[in-house]
């Protein structure tokens, strides 16, 4: 794997730039003593660990299928996104804790003219990085790059909130703004974490991908190849850059196996071509008149579920 891989390059750049951004925020916190700056720094610490996990997940997702993982390793992307969401929630809780402590013990802020420029620099760096990651992820259909980019852009919003609050404190002396902004930041990043967790759970539960479903049905609703009369029991799930498709096709009873296989293979190719990424299509061929009689063999085969429960 070379650095010509744009997703790998983007994630490694993210890792390096995240270290720089975190360093600027830590210095800003120690200079100002702001709870908001501390919240921003805590979010960046979490973000750095999340990026490390994302890079690991990407490397693992590239491994081909093996004897223990017949469907490959791409499903790790859903787990990686979920862990990133859980880590972000941890940051939100940490920020809430420090905001409450500041409410109890008071706020002491200083050296704003030094701290604010440092936070502005960190925000601009993350803005460029986040935009780059999201664009790369969308161009190359990488969930990991997109989620990492969105997390980075979330960091920009948190930094922006802190910068505005510190600027207002500098001009007005209203120290309580620092606590309010910290609470708002905590709420915002927890909401963003929830969206990542929801995406992760949907992926792990094989929720239907609407774009894939629409593309597949567009092919199936057109004229079917050769002797294919109809189709049913379409199922599909997407892991990483691979979509697994299953469906049943119906032929006249007199159709030869050679002809049915040829027609099904043409349909398989059409379905693969309709999708942007790789696809593995499995087609079950059935006779029209003898369909029900043939399926009697399967009646009661499963111990607790009927065949329809899987379709």
H helices of the chain, where? 6-32, 35-61, 76-105, 112-139, 143-172, 176-204, 210-220, 257-274, 291-295
Q: What is the mean pLDDT of residues 152-168?
A: 83
158 vs 180: which has the higher pLDDT: 180
Asked if pLDDT for residue 102 goes beyond 80, the answer is no
- Summary mean pLDDT of the chain: 86
DSSP 173: -
**pLDDT at 107 (0 to 100):** 67
Express each pLDDT in 105-115 by its tens digit.
776 677 788 88
**pLDDT at 213 (0 to 100):** 96
**pLDDT at 58 (0 to 100):** 84
Query: What is the token pair recorded at 201?
Result: 């759970």
**pLDDT at 247 (0 to 100):** 96
260 vs 45: which has the higher pLDDT: 260
Residue 311's pLDDT band, with cuts at 50, 70 and 90, is: low
Asked if pLDDT for residue 176 goes beyond 50, the answer is yes
Express each pLDDT in 236-262 by its tens digit.
999 878 999 999 999 999 999 999 999
Q: How would you class 2 by CB atoms within 10 Å of its CB: exposed for 0-12, middle for 13-18, buried for 19 or more?
A: exposed
Contact of 133 with 47, CB cutoff 8 Å = no
Asked if pLDDT for residue 273 goes beyond 70, the answer is yes
Portions of the chain given CATH number 3.30.70.1350: 210-310
Query: Rounded to whole angstroms, how far apart are CA atoms 85 and 54?
Result: 11
**pLDDT at 152 (0 to 100):** 87
Q: What is the mean pLDDT of residues 49-59?
A: 82
Class of domain 210-310: alpha beta
**pLDDT at 268 (0 to 100):** 97
Query: Rounded to whole angstroms, how far apart are CA atoms 286 and 306?
Result: 19
Ranges 54-58, 136-140, 159-163, 214-218, most confident: 214-218
Asked if pLDDT for residue 299 goes beyond 70, the answer is yes
Query: What is the token pair recorded at 152?
Result: 């980075």
Portions of the chain given CATH number 1.20.1510.10: 6-204
**pLDDT at 3 (0 to 100):** 57
Q: For a pLDDT cut of 90, what percent of the chain falls above it?
A: 33
**pLDDT at 281 (0 to 100):** 97
CA distances to 4, 75, 208, 238, 257 from 281, in Å? 30, 18, 16, 12, 18
Asked if pLDDT for residue 2 goes beyond 60, the answer is no
Topology adopted by domain 6-204: Alpha-lytic protease prodomain-like (1.20.1510)
Those residues with Cβ within 8 angstroms of residue 66's Cβ, 6 or more apart along the chain or in another chain: none
Asked if pLDDT for residue 5 goes beyond 80, the answer is yes
Query: What is the token pair recorded at 232?
Result: 């049913």
Query: Rounded to whole angstroms, how far apart are CA atoms 296 and 278?
Result: 35
Express each pLDDT in 195-208 by its tens digit.
889 989 998 999 99
Express each pLDDT in 64-89 by its tens digit.
888 999 988 888 888 888 887 887 78
Residue 1's pLDDT band, with cuts at 50, 70 and 90, is: very low
**pLDDT at 143 (0 to 100):** 78
Cα atoms found within 13 Å of the Cα of residue 181, Cβ hemisphere only:
26
């Amino acid at each position: 794997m070379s650095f010509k891989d744009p997703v790998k390059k983007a994630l490694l750049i993210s890792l390096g730039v995240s270290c720089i951004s975190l360093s600027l925020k830590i210095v800003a916190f120690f200079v100002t003593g702001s709870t908001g700056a501390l919240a921003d720094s805590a979010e960046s610490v979490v973000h750095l660990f999340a990026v490390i996990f994302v890079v690991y997940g990407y490397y693992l997702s590239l491994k081909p299928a093996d004897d223990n993982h017949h469907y490959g390793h791409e499903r790790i992307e859903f787990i990686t996104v979920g862990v990133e969401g859980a880590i972000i929630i941890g940051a939100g809780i940490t920020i809430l804790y420090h905001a409450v402590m500041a409410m109890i013990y008071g706020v002491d802020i200083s050296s704003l003219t030094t701290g604010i420029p440092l936070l502005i620099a960190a925000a601009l760096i993350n803005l460029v990085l986040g935009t780059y990651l999201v664009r790369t992820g969308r161009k190359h259909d990488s969930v990991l790059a997109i989620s990492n980019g969105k997390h980075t852009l979330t960091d920009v919003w948190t930094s922006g909130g802190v910068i505005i609050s510190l600027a207002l404190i500098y001009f007005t002396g209203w120290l309580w703004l620092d606590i309010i902004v910290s609470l708002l930041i905590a709420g915002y990043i927890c909401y963003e974490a929830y969206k990542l967790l929801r995406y992760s759970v949907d992926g792990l539960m094989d929720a239907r991908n609407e774009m894939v479903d629409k593309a597949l049905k567009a092919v199936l609703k057109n004229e079917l190849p050769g002797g294919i009369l109809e189709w049913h029991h379409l199922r599909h799930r997407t892991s990483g850059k691979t979509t697994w498709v299953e469906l049943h096709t119906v032929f006249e009873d007199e159709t030869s196996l050679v002809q049915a296989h040829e027609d099904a293979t043409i349909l398989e190719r059409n379905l693969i071509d309709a999708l942007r990424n790789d696809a593995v299509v499995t087609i079950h061929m059935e006779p029209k008149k003898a369909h029900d009689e043939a399926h009697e063999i399967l009646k009661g085969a499963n111990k607790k579920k009927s065949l329809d429960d899987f379709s």
